[in-house]
Structure 1
Amino acid sequence: MSDAQLREVIAARGIPATGIRDFFDLADALLADDAVQRALVRLQRGTLAVLAVAVELPSPTLDDIAGRLHELGGTPTTAADVADRARTLHELLLVTLDGDRVTTFDPVTERLRAWPSEGLPGAAELAAQTAPSAFLNASDSDTRFVDRLAAERAFAAVSSIAELVTEVSREPARQLSRGGLGQPDTKRLAQAMSVELEAVAPLVSIAERAELVALERGHWLETPGGDDWLHEGTPKRWASLATAWQAALSTEVRSILAGRPGVSWGDGLRAYATWLYPAGGTWMEERVNAFARDAELIGVTAHQTVGTAGAAVLAGDIDAAVAMMAELLPAEVGQVYLQHDLSIVSPGPLSPAVDARLRSLADIESRELASTYRVTNASVNRALAAGGNAQSILEFLRGISLTGVPQPLEYLIVESASRYGRVRVGPLRTGQAQSYVWSDDPAMLGTIAVDQSLTPLALVSADGRLTSRHPADVVFWALSDAKYPVAAEDGEGEILHLRRHQLARPVVAEPADPAAALVEKLRAGDGGESEAGHAWLARQLDVAIRGKQTVIVSIAMPGGVVVDYLLEPASVGGGRFRARDRRADIERTLPLSSVLSITPAP
């Protein structure tokens, strides 16, 4: 076999590199009972039927197998189809295909013959049992209902993931060392996303798959792609989720879904998966469940029925899927109602550009089709810290308002802007202190010094200002969250505009290929065909020694004479082996180079 063929079979069979020193160890690992079962679990019914019949018949040809399958199943089976499946088995090293003749390995035969006692199908059942009833086609009225429901779920998923991306950009979520989010972060994200606690992990997984969030140093952060995604329209946002979902489908699930878009799956999907992979068990069930769960979450399906847009996704036509979904999603709006109580109400889903700008100067209170925002001193300070001013904020609000700018709201913005910067935070490199806080209002500075909410900053009075061992940006955002009119400045006293969060950059690391490393190691220790022959003889002798077996060893003597000895091997090494001659009752030491063959004694 070539290196590429070896790598493929080691990877496909899931053979670990641990404990494999040479090709004989690899052969043992491939034929181990659990390794054979793992391989059989991943085979489709038709391929298993070919293997099961090959086990039953003595050294069968492809025509023999096709004929026997016809007898068992009652339907014609071509030799070409049998040949394709036999080649698959040959490539997986479960059988040997020599011309048109199939030979199975003893451990594979033993494993398959044990199946009926384990509740798994034998050859007759594999060949004769027909597929479950075809999936039901949805009626036109059902399809319209499914499309509407799928659009609702697509909108909900996009909205929830948008809140997820926004929330982790504000405050990263910590990943536990054992996996999964901690309970406090899960609750925080669930509240921000307006979902149940158990929905958080699947939605984080969907967002990660679409590269909107990523793990960095044990925390979930927004990615540059996530930042760009937030500025896309809802149909394009959904397209990113659907494309990533479709690209992540496993080969096994793809084979089940091939040619079956636009139908009602229901329990039929699982029944068909069980039929197609009769030994799949929990392995197949987990894949189907994960696929079906995410399909429901993002609106590819609704009530386990494929929508029109979902069918296009399954067919790989994402552009058509987006066009269909765009017709079903609620229209985006670009204007809002500004209220005297400092709230902002949108009459529908806001366009991403307006929503992003509003979030920079207001806190979101509820997220539905009509979202509600609220302007506060702290939120205006946040907008000012990002580089805004009273004039630019008011101009933006006038441009999107259907009701003008109420006087209380205008007063709050102007007053917050006039107070902005009364407290300054800057970097400091003196001793252990990393930052300072100062204000021309001593009373304000005194209030900050005794504020219990700021205790973690460990503020210390020094020379008319406060110092902290924490960096300036940490101190700045702590004061901002505490609703102080704080501004950041550099060492020259110039005001800086800070971005609160950092972006994670997904690192696509080249995955380690243990199969390639194993093949390289095996090739390095392989001395070629001659040495491999000696190694094979030594291996047989070693097995006989461990089992205290008697073997017949054929030795090439000078002059071309071949002599058979009945021996009980005792040790092997240095190109020679020592054994007890059972016929002559003497001990012999013989060179491996003279051994022609070793066969078990009858």
Structure 2
Amino acid sequence: MATTFADQLRSLPDEALGALIQLRPDLVVPVPADISALAVRAQSRNSVARCLDGLDEFTLLVLDAARLSRAADTALTSVDAILALTEGVPGEDTRVAIDRLRVRFLLHGPPEALQIVGAVDEVTSPYPAGLGRPADYLDAQAAALCADRAKLRRTVLAAPPGARAVLDRLAAGPPIGALNRDSVAEPVKWLVEQHVLVPVSEAGRAPRPDGDLVELPREVGMLLRRDTGPLGVLRPVAPVPDGPSRDPQAADSAGAGQTMEAVRATEAILEALAVEPAALLRTGGLGVRDLKRLARAAGIDEAGAALLIETAYAAGLLGESEAAPARATTPAQDVFLPTGAYDLWRATGVAHRWAALARSWLTMTRQPGLVGRRDERDRPVNALAPDAERAGAPQARREALGTLADLEPGAAPTVDDLLGLLSWQSPRRARGREAAHRDAYSGAALLGVTGLGALTSYARLLLADGETDGGDPLGVHPEDAHADAVRALDRLLPAPVDHVLVQADLTVVVPGPPEPELAAELDVLAEPESAGGASVFRVTPASMRRALDVGYQAADLHELFRRRSRTPVPQTLTYLIDDAARRHGGLRSGSAGSYLRSDDEALLAEVAGDKRLTTLDLRRIAPTVLVSPRPVARLLGALREAGYAPVAEDAGGATVLTRPKARRAPTRSARAPETTGPVLIGPRLAGVVEQLRRGDIATRAARRAPVTVRAAHGHAVPGLTAVQQHTQAMAVLQQAVRDKARVWVGYVDSHGATLSRLVRPVSLSAGYLRAEDERGESLHTFALHRITAAVTEE
């Protein structure tokens, strides 16, 4: 009969041992040397606490029942004793919870003598189910009162209303209350005098006469819980959230629309940073003014802008870069700019762009909901600041979305109902994470992970693809891990369009998401006015000059609008293009500092006399040439602000066409997804179990090996034992081959570890010993120079 924890683990079949490893994967990270090491790890504080974190409310209360029902002398309990404390619920539910604890080895032993792993008491509350310690442990007079059940009931019934309110509060748990001797309340004083409450010095310490706390004895608490049961209200099944049910297709459509909005707003924020980079604060992060500016540029609130900025940074689309100082004496300052990866991201489809953002949001260790709040030093938390870092944020998002994923498709419960369900599913883990879970739900709504409050179908695929593929024993994904989610979202989004609708008022309507090539053309040709399912742009004289500056000719612009527009090109647009092209290039500039020349002498005279250009210090050096000491760029900028349309030329007089260079921060990779370790299923799980079995056999074999073999390995042995010579070992092996006898062989493996094995030699030749291992039914080969000893089995 198994007598130790390790023996019970050792006696498990491979399927049960594998189930334990699956339920508690931290036990094999790294893989222990043998079952004894596994047993030690399974009883450690960290492993037990991690296991308890994944248990639901009812299972934890059943574990509390096991703690409450332990016998004082043996510290053992039984299934019947636990059932007696949970009589208010079906016995089958309680037995299922007990089995759940036993398969995790938090409870072990036979049903009539269950033992609780010692670390459970160390990592849980000292008051199981919110009940105090027994009266005989706290105070002799309280114990005498509790021993007389009738007197105890009369005392409780005679309690004044204020005292009864105190009792009801302490009976609900925890059973500890504050006691101040200088200003003790009359109800508490009455209860202490009647020995219903016991003064204690500190929770978990022995009582003292001048204690500063009071504790409600366990027997009194159980009496007060006569209506709800000793453990309080028991909920063996999860609460069902009460909320509306949406049509899954409607939820998908609403979520798809929100994904387009999230992608558009992210792009608008990054474009605004490309035009005007935001300075990196000395304490880290983005300033409040810059956040407000970016929120206005994207047309969303500041909380949404903070979320998208944090997500873009986690996806590697946003980074820091050193800005050139305005003056030589000014130190350089870091600024936030889009990275090179942003250009690649922008060239992909909307579904791929959304998947990159959603994947980074799920795995980033940032909590955007903290932005704008105050830290412990009463300072505001800025976007991208170190104060918003939270290591548990990815797990909180997975938990929150996993709760929605477990519901029926289309279920849209309120956030409070979801938080209540999370609190039942894992109360230890949910405690203190309410803010993180609320941020997860609000972020999911903003990014389009949820639609109309329900989890979308493509988001379910995204969450499912985040798990390791169970069909591959190596856990390798040959394709894009989120291709299914991208394809599902693509089917919901409107198809990208390659055409526009040009209106008579020079507005350009794009009836859908534009193709990347069309979007790049519109960035040059028109100014954006509104975004959404149908984007609206406007053609202006400034946008036409910009198009001509980057290399378009008038004929190119006429052809482009004729090819892209599904409506006739209005005559006003044709005139605008021709007028801009006619004026474009009428002035040419060079460096002298810089010069300005034109064949139109009247135009040069107009420029020279323009008072808006006096800062350029223009000076006529020929009827058709003006010069300025200012740089060419400043000369061109001032002329364009004044309404002229100059172009630059090189030393040979050829036109220099320039496109504004987009500034980018150094490309940075997105944060690697947070992993919880390999998923142990299939061949991988079987390999771990086999490794544990082999290590256990090797360890026990080493302990049972003869003294000579252990001495050859340098192990401490009783008495004086001579180490066997190599020739003697070879003689023993040769005789064993002839007699077909079993021998103990000590050897050093390829890793330098000393091992021993009981084998039956088959042959001894060519520098190798070949022998059968009857336990493993396998044939082993030993290099003779690695054999340290050989002893015939006694």
Decide: shared fold, TM above 0.5. yes
Output aligned runs, 1:338-357, within 5 Å.
Answer: 338-357=502-521
Task: Measure how far apart 1:367 and its partner are.
Answer: 1.8
What is the alpha-carbon distance in structure 2 between the residues aligned to residue 480 and residue 70 of structure 1?
87
1:294 equivalent in structure 2? 443
Structure 1 contact 60–101 (Cα < 8 Å) conserved: no
Q: So what's the TM-score if we normalise by structure 2?
A: 0.48
Partner residue of 1:76 out of 61, 74, 95 = 95
SS at match of 1:220: strand
Matched, 1:241 2:357: yes
What is the alpha-carbon distance in structure 2 between the residues aligned to residue 68 and residue 131 of structure 1?
22
Partner residue of 1:146 out of 251, 254, 260 = 251
Q: Which amino acid aligns with 1:306?
A: L
Greater share of helix: 1
Structure 1 contact 54–102 (Cα < 8 Å) conserved: no
Task: Measure how far apart 1:169 and its partner are.
Answer: 2.7
SS at match of 1:76: helix
2:328 equivalent in structure 1? none
What is the alpha-carbon distance in structure 2 between the residues aligned to residue 406 and residue 493 of structure 1?
36
Change (3 A) 1:53 1:361: same
What is the alpha-carbon distance in structure 2 between the residues aligned to residue 234 and residue 194 of structure 1?
19
Q: Which amino acid aligns with 1:144?
A: Q
Partner residue of 1:440 out of 597, 602, 605 = 597
Q: Write the deviation string for residues 331-358 of structure 1: whole angstroms up to 9, x where unpaired.
A: 4332222234332223344333212211
Partner residue of 2:119 out of 71, 88, 104 = 104
Task: Measure how far apart 1:70 and its partner are.
Answer: 5.9
Partner residue of 1:250 out of 357, 375, 394 = 394
2:340 equivalent in structure 1? 224
What is the alpha-carbon distance in structure 2 between the residues aligned to residue 219 and residue 66 of structure 1?
65
Task: Measure how far apart 1:362 and its partner are.
Answer: 1.0
Q: Write the deviation string for residues 239-288 of structure 1: whole angstroms up to 9, x where unpaired.
A: 33333344457234434517616343433321122223435567411221
Structure 1 contact 53–65 (Cα < 8 Å) conserved: no
Partner residue of 1:269 out of 418, 436, 449 = 418
SS at match of 1:333: coil
1:571 equivalent in structure 2? none
Q: Which amino acid aligns with 1:335?
A: H
Partner residue of 2:406 out of 248, 260, 268 = 260
Structure 1 contact 60–103 (Cα < 8 Å) conserved: no
Matched, 1:156 2:261: yes
Partner residue of 1:368 out of 532, 548, 565 = 532
What is the alpha-carbon distance in structure 1 between the residues aligned to residue 576 and residue 313 of structure 2?
39
Unaligned runs of 5+ in 2: 1-24, 30-43, 108-114, 132-169, 176-217, 219-229, 323-333, 365-392, 466-480, 599-603, 673-794
Structure 1 contact 55–109 (Cα < 8 Å) conserved: no
SS at match of 2:572: helix
Output aligned runs, 1:523-562, within 5 Å.
Answer: none
SS at match of 2:486: helix
What is the alpha-carbon distance in structure 1 between the residues aligned to residue 96 and residue 583 of structure 2?
85
Structure 2 contact 504–570 (Cα < 8 Å) conserved: yes
Matched, 1:202 2:307: yes
Task: Measure how far apart 1:399 and its partner are.
Answer: 0.8
What is the alpha-carbon distance in structure 1 between the residues aligned to residue 651 and residue 442 of structure 2?
53
Structure 1 contact 175–219 (Cα < 8 Å) conserved: yes
Identity over aligned residues, as a percent? 28
Partner residue of 2:557 out of 393, 408, 433 = 393
Partner residue of 2:499 out of 327, 335, 339 = 335
Output aligned runs, 1:40-189, within 5 Å.
Answer: 44-45=55-56, 75-76=94-95, 81-82=100-101, 102-104=117-119, 108=123, 128-135=234-241, 142-177=247-282, 181-182=286-287, 184-189=289-294
Change (3 A) 1:186 1:78: closer
Q: Which of the pair has more CA radius of gyration? A: 2
Q: Which amino acid aligns with 2:527?
A: D
RMSD of aligned alpha carbons: 5.0
SS at match of 1:82: helix
What is the alpha-carbon distance in structure 2 between the residues aligned to residue 444 and residue 80 of structure 1?
95
Q: Write the deviation string for residues 121-163 of structure 1: whole angstroms up to 9, x where unpaired.
A: 7997599444542457976x62232222222222222222232
Task: Measure how far apart 1:510 and its partner are.
Answer: 9.8
Q: Which amino acid aligns with 1:229?
A: W
Q: Write the deviation string for residues 458-483 of structure 1: whole angstroms up to 9, x where unpaired.
A: 866689544458xx768866766775
What is the alpha-carbon distance in structure 2 between the residues aligned to residue 119 and residue 460 of structure 1?
86
SS at match of 1:330: coil
SS at match of 2:95: coil
Change (3 A) 1:238 1:132: same
Number of aligned residues: 456
Matched, 1:500 2:661: yes
Structure 2 contact 315–671 (Cα < 8 Å) conserved: no
